[in-house]
Amino acid sequence: AQKVTQAQTEISVVEKEDVTLDCVYETRDTTYYLFWYKQPPSGELVFLIRRNSFDEQNEISGRYSWNFQKSTSSFNFTITASQVVDSAVYFCALSEAGAGNNRKLIWGLGTSLAVNP
């Protein structure tokens, strides 16, 4: 069965610190997708990144970077030089590829990040 674990429920950092949000997943499929979403206090979830299982290259987008390691079934998210605007709940999600109505997006429970000035 699919499963996504975000072990860190809450993280609190001071502005300009680097912070890593962990995501560990379980799947029996060889083809799957991994996602990160951000939910700021306003409530609207915003898509950040999608990674497929065949692309283990790390991704960097500004202060955001993602480390995908199939060997440890992890897809961790690092924010460098955090800012107050990064305060949000971050969700990791997993989807097995392929057709079929029984394939669903599995969500982690989220990590609440507070960046303090």
Partner 1 sequence: DVKVTQSSRYLVKRTGEKVFLECVQDMDHENMFWYRQDPGLGLRLIYFSYDVKMKEKGDIPEGYSVSREKKERFSLILESASTNQTSMYLCASSPVGGYHNSPLHFGNGTRLTVT
Supply the minimum distance, in Å, between the C-beta of residue 37 and partner 1: 8
- 4 within 8 A of 23, measured Cβ to Cβ: yes
Number of residues that bind partner 1 (CB under 8 A): 23
Asked if residue 107 lies in contact with residue 57, where contact means CB atoms within 8 angstroms, the answer is: no
* Least distance in angstroms from the C-beta of 44 to partner 1: 5
Using the contact rule CB under 8 A, the part of the chain among 20-28, 66-74, 79-87, 89-97 near partner 1 is 89-97
Question: Token pair for residue 19?
Answer: 């912070």
Is 14 in a helix, a strand, or coil? strand
Tokens of 66: 């993602």
Strands 111-116 and 10-14: parallel
Residues 29-48 that bind partner 1 (CB under 8 A): 33, 35, 37, 42-47
For partner 1, the closer CB: 28 or 71: 28
The total of other beta-carbon atoms located within 10 Å of residue 35's CB is: 20
**Piece of the chain touching partner 1 by CB under 8 A; list 11-19, 55-63, 72-80, 102-110:** 102-110
Question: Contact residues for partner 1 (CB under 8 A)?
Answer: 33, 35, 37, 42-47, 50, 91, 95, 97-99, 101, 103-105, 107-110
